[in-house]
Structure 1
Amino acid sequence: MQRKHLARTAAATGAGLLALALTIGLAGTARAATLFSDDFSGGTGSWSKSGGDWSTVTDGSATFQQANTGSELARQFAGDTGWTDYQVQARVKPLAFNGSNRLVAIGARSTSASKRYQLALTNAGRAELQAVDGSSITVIGSVALTVSTGSWYTLRIEASGSTIKGFVNGSQIASGSNSAFGAGRIVLVTAYASARFDDVSVDTVGSTPTTPPTTSPTTPPTTAPTTPPTTGPTSPPQTGLVGWATQNGGTTGGGSAAATTVTTASALTSALGSTSAAVIRVSGTISCSGMLRTRSNKTVIGNSGATIVGCGLTVSGDRNVIIRNLTFRDWDDDAINVETSATNIWVDHNTFSNGYDGAVDIKRGSDFVTVSWNRIFSHDKSMLLGHSDDNASQDVGHLRVSYHHNWFDGSGTRHPRVRFGNPVHVYNNYYYNNEYGVASTMNAGVLVEGNYFEGVDDPTLVGYADSGPGTLVQRNNYFTGSGTPQSAGSVASIPYSYQLDSASSVKSIVTAGAGAGRI
């Protein structure tokens, strides 16, 4: 796959900036606070995966390996979205490249799955310091460098204000000014390549990295390239947090809190109910009943195969909660219930089936919610937004929710059914054999764009059952074997940036990426 260079620039001035001979005098710098370090000897609990096949393997000592060379873009994220000025360093060993212009990289200031600064080693014979914004890649600086599989390289990115620098094995390869990303997490990256990563450290700018470089580059260049390469991997759809949950201060869940693994209903209930920030990893199958109260500042994430049977999670009046990578089935109330002015909630990459009531219901003045990359099948009532027609006093001005890249796989209704919320954003979802798709009622305002409707009797409705009409704008959607969509009026503007995939591609994109086990 080819990389689109939509904004490719060389920001560094002077050939000397790009020379690997510019070494850093580490011995003279003062050590400052270490923000993060990981040699993977204790596993990988602090990392969050997006794509690829990752595991810890031994290479003299523990390392973190991405083994799937067929993965278009594999990433592991760690750290804090609020980190601003820092340097990240890691040892990287490319193992194999699948095709031409492939890469392995480390990244800094990652604001989403597709936005970051990264220092990449490519099998096109280059080391590049890049600003990556979806499919747009700005090259801040680069050098010719023979990248050998099976060899370790020490990569470092320094980000201080708008000054971004890249180093390979302690020698500066690039420095330039770029203000695209002011803060964000660190990330390990491969694109159609396999690699091992080790000795990751994050320190304040100007401090000595935890693990200094120990080797030299394979081929030290002496001049800047005349013509930079123009091809390479293309970024996939956005899989990080986008939408309404990015507003109102953002949604970080448990942040960098130490992870706690739970395997029983009692342990899960206790962890969810704690008033402290927490990252809760669900392992195995947990059977329970009723609704488990989930308090503020929680990340609830499933390990591979994690399943919750018989019960659901409720966020009532709390804020800043992330629920990801879980399979819910046979719940006896709702699977996920967000209510009573709860705010900043992200429900992502879960699978729902065979429940009693809603899979994801949001109501009673709740706000700033993103529901993304979930799959619902063998179930009827999917996603309700606003619980009743007589609740305007609590709901008007709230219930702002984004629904994107969800797979409504034969589920019956409510995808979503909306009351009062405006604007509600429904984009890039795949609808298959549903009674109806989206209903806008009770003066709600819903933007429905870039979705794929297949075999849907009523793709969009204005008014439903006894509920009065709302407004609904539908644009750039794809319809096959479906009825005629309804629309009426206008919708308030969307305040956040987002990447809209072509509607005709949404079926393949969503079926390949939605549901538990896909992050």
Structure 2
Amino acid sequence: MRRTSARFKLASAVAVTAAAATFGGDTVTVSDADAFIEAASSDGPLQIEVDGTIQLDDMADVSSDKTIIGVGSGSGFDGSGLHVADADNVIIQNLVFANSNDDGINVQYSTNVWIDHNDFTNPNDGALDIKRASTDITVSWNHTYDSDKNMLLGHDDDNASEDVGRLNVTYHHNWFDSVNQRNPRVRFGDPVHVYNNYYNDIGSYGVASTEDAGVLVEANYFENTDDPYHLGEGDSGPGSLVAVDNHYENSSEGETGGSVSDIPYSYTPDAATDVKSIVTGGAGVGNI
């Protein structure tokens, strides 16, 4: 493993957290599973550069104060994904997550996480699941395709004791590309902000607000999407959903109702009509 000295700042792509943290650490470049697993689970701050495709047999643990960045446009993980648990200050950027036997990324009991400019394809379960009291998370500029259960926020209807007041997540400038459902599917989180995403050829539905969640769906571009958003899903009761300034191309407007807590940061969304070109030109690996 090659190490160089570095300092870096937990970025805020629209307020990843209420206050971004600055911390020091070395940089290590890894190209095999053993080296990556050792680095990602180590104590203390570290920037990990992933060079090439790393084959994983099981979900790899990621500890606090880690930045994991792919080198170039083809680096990442095949076979399994990343497990971010009981962690704070994590950045995951410019990586391909392919063919995971579980999730592409699973986040639980974690805060201050930024997941940015990644590709997710063909997971056995979800592309990106966020659950169990995790909060202050931004999911930005990712490209997801060949996925059924794409992005879950809140794993169970019976987990209100942990999740109410948490699960505050922003999803912006992501490309949901012919995926089927959960873009995202939300329980309990309020506010959850879904804005400036491009949805094309969505199979089942785009966004679902359930179990008293509050979701603002704002300035997104929906194309060939019969059900862009609705309240309740399966056995889960309805949440609240407010839709503002979205663009619909061969798509229906969805189901709304209730109110959403104020968004706790300043932002200026792109015009919804411009989102398709902006997102397809900038989302995914190689576009940082």
| Cα deviation, residue 258, structure 1 | 2.2
> Structure 1 counterpart of 2:17, which letter?
T
Separation of aligned partners in 2, 1:425 and 1:244? 12
Q: 1:495 aligns with which of 236, 250, 264?
A: 264
* Paired residue secondary structure (1:504): helix
Separation of aligned partners in 2, 1:319 and 1:357? 24
Q: 2:20 aligns with which of 242, 245, 250?
A: 250
Could you tell me which residue of structure 2 aligns to residue 445 of structure 1?
A: 214
CA-to-partner distance for each residue in 1:52-72, whole Å, 9 max, x for gaps? xxxxxxxxxxxxxxxxxxxxx
Q: 1:505 aligned to 2:282? A: no
Could you tell me which residue of structure 1 aligns to residue 89 of structure 2?
A: 320
| Cα deviation, residue 80, structure 1 | 5.0
Q: 1:398 aligned to 2:177? A: no
Contact persistence 2:26–2:45 (CA under 8 A): no
Q: 1:262 aligns with which of 16, 26, 30?
A: 30
| Cα deviation, residue 256, structure 1 | 4.1
| Cα deviation, residue 378, structure 1 | 1.2
CA RMSD between the two structures? 1.5
Contact persistence 1:336–1:361 (CA under 8 A): yes
| Cα deviation, residue 259, structure 1 | 1.1
| Cα deviation, residue 311, structure 1 | 1.0
Contact persistence 1:244–1:400 (CA under 8 A): no
* Paired residue secondary structure (2:279): helix
Q: 1:331 aligned to 2:103? A: no
Could you tell me which residue of structure 1 aligns to residue 125 of structure 2?
A: 357
Could you tell me which residue of structure 1 aligns to residue 112 of structure 2?
A: 344
Separation of aligned partners in 1, 2:166 and 2:17? 15
Number of corresponding residues: 283
Residues 363 and 251 (structure 1), Cα distance of their counterparts in 2 relative to 1, 3 Å cut: farther
Residues 244 and 420 (structure 1), Cα distance of their counterparts in 2 relative to 1, 3 Å cut: farther
Separation of aligned partners in 2, 1:303 and 1:468? 43
Q: 1:375 aligned to 2:143? A: yes
CA-to-partner distance for each residue in 1:105-133, whole Å, 9 max, x for gaps? xxxxxxxxxxxxxxxxxxxxxxxxxxxxx
Residues 335 and 274 (structure 1), Cα distance of their counterparts in 2 relative to 1, 3 Å cut: same
| Cα deviation, residue 251, structure 1 | 5.0
Structure 1, unmatched stretches of 5+, are 1-44, 47-77, 83-239
Q: 2:244 aligns with which of 452, 475, 485?
A: 475
* Paired residue secondary structure (2:80): strand
| Cα deviation, residue 464, structure 1 | 1.0
| Cα deviation, residue 279, structure 1 | 0.1
| Cα deviation, residue 241, structure 1 | 2.6
Separation of aligned partners in 1, 2:247 and 2:117? 23
Could you tell me which residue of structure 1 aligns to residue 42 of structure 2?
A: 274
Contact persistence 2:9–2:21 (CA under 8 A): no
Separation of aligned partners in 2, 1:79 and 1:277? 9
> Structure 1 counterpart of 2:83, which letter?
T
Contact persistence 2:7–2:26 (CA under 8 A): no
Separation of aligned partners in 1, 2:260 and 2:106? 26
Separation of aligned partners in 1, 2:107 and 2:146? 22
Could you tell me which residue of structure 2 aligns to residue 294 of structure 1?
A: 62
* Paired residue secondary structure (1:286): strand
* Paired residue secondary structure (2:79): strand
Which contiguous aligned blocks of 4+ residues in structure 1 show a shift greater than 3 angstroms? 78-82
Identity of aligned residues (%): 53
> Structure 2 counterpart of 1:479, which letter?
Y
Contact persistence 1:251–1:322 (CA under 8 A): no
Could you tell me which residue of structure 1 aligns to residue 153 of structure 2?
A: 385
Separation of aligned partners in 1, 2:170 and 2:263? 10
| Cα deviation, residue 81, structure 1 | 4.7
- The TM-score normalised by the length of structure 2 is 0.95
Separation of aligned partners in 1, 2:116 and 2:186? 20
Separation of aligned partners in 1, 2:21 and 2:59? 22
CA-to-partner distance for each residue in 1:311-368, whole Å, 9 max, x for gaps? 11111111100000000100001111101x2100000000011110111100011010
- The TM-score normalised by the length of structure 1 is 0.53
Separation of aligned partners in 2, 1:406 and 1:241? 16
| Cα deviation, residue 250, structure 1 | 1.9
Separation of aligned partners in 2, 1:271 and 1:286? 13
